[in-house]
Amino acid sequence: MVSRHSLELAVPGLAVGALAGVMAGGLTLFAGQPGGATFLALPLALFGGLYGMLLGHGPFRPGTFAPAGLLWLPAFPLSRLAQESVAATGALADGVLPFLAYQAMVSLGFAIGFLWLHERLMPYWLLRVRARGHNPRADQLLAHYVRSAPA
């Protein structure tokens, strides 16, 4: 079972993923394409929350790209595939494998943007979590951010 402490760490990733999906939806509507991109917000938010939870459990360290890139390498194509299965926009016309390969290439660019925004939001969120009560994982992450701040 997922603890409250882990869920608190997932919030910034959830927010960044949802924001990215909603922005993609708005951009595709602005470009005159079908509005199916809003269905991208849910899987991106879930994988973003997973990133925050993994960040709090130790396998991922704040500020490093490789773990985020490795998470988004399969997560972004799967999110796009889920979006295409709900709201078909014709992107699968060439087949599933070319679609997934292209999305895997795009995922690393997404990972850079996700990590950049997540690293800007997470310390402020950790300060709020710390002010509300005791969360040992949040305290450890905040201490890491404070040690890394001068660099």
Look at residue 85 in the predicted model and tell me its pLDDT.
Answer: 84
Other Cβ atoms less than 10 A from the Cβ of 136: the count is 9
Instruction: Decide if 78 contacts 43 (C-beta within 8 A).
Output: yes
**Alpha-carbon gap, residue 151 to 148, rounded angstroms:** 6
Confirm whether pTM is higher than 0.85: yes
Distance of CA 48 to the CA centre of its chain: 3
Q: For the segment 17-74, what is each residue's pLDDT rounded down to a tens digit?
A: 999 988 887 777 777 766 666 788 999 999 999 999 988 776 777 878 888 999 999 9
